């Protein structure tokens, strides 16, 4: 009985240690080594978002492939010309919730309920009585 408990404890310890090593290796930054993991790399955007709360392709970034289901998307906003914008993740399989009041000089985490392998993009939007807004920055789907 004692041998069985020791063996069970040892096997549990080995499993926990190897899973910890796997997590540590999975978090290794490969971008600096010539690898690009799509969806985890920051991608530049430069858009003129239409005014009057019009949501069309002019307010959309290029697309990326979702790497990790449930992971938040990242957004670094360089400039919005002093204006506030709203933004969310979008895909053919569903959209994230809106993040309101996004301004230049800030970094945001965005709700991204899409699943691994989904193609997604960001949709920016202005207020109902707001004119067009030019915005620049970077984003990644994760």
Q: Mark whether 97 and 136 lie in a shared domain.
A: yes
Cα 60 to chain centroid, rounded: 15
Cα 116 from Cα 69, distance rounded (Å): 5
Return the CATH number at 43: 2.60.120.380
Taking the C-alpha atoms of residue 36 and residue 42, their distance in angstroms, rounded to an integer, is: 10
For residues 18 and 52, state if they share a domain: no
Whether 34 maps to a domain, the answer reads no
77-128 pLDDT per residue, tens: 999 999 999 999 999 999 999 999 999 999 999 999 999 999 999 999 999 9
Residues 20 and 47 in one domain: no
Same domain? 72 vs 119: yes
- Residues 115 and 66: their CA atoms lie apart, in Å, by 7
Q: What are the φ/ψ torsions at residue 101 (nearest 5 degrees)?
A: 75, 30
pTM of the model: 0.73
- Partnered with residue 134 across adjacent β-strands are 48
Residue 42: Cβ within 10 Å count: 12
User: What digits encode the pLDDT tens for the residues 54-76?
Assistant: 999 999 999 999 999 999 999 99
Question: 129 and 69, same structural domain?
Answer: yes
* Residue numbers of the domain that contains 8: 2-26
What is the number of domains present in the chain?
A: 2
């Amino acid at each position: 009985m004692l041998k069985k408990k020791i063996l069970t404890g040892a096997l549990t310890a080995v499993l926990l240690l190897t899973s910890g090593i796997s997590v540590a290796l999975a978090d290794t930054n490969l971008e600096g080594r010539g690898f690009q993991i799509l969806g985890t790399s920051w991608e530049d955007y430069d858009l003129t978002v239409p005014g009057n709360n019009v949501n069309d392709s002019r307010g959309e970034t290029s697309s990326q492939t979702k790497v990790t289901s449930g992971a938040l998307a990242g957004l670094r906003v360089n400039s919005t010309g002093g204006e506030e914008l709203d933004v969310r993740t979008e895909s053919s399989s569903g959209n994230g919730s809106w993040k309101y009041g996004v301004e230049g000089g800030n970094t945001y985490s965005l709700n991204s309920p899409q699943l691994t392998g989904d193609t997604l993009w960001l949709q920016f939007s202005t207020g109902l009585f707001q004119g067009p807004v030019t915005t620049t920055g970077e984003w990644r789907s994760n």
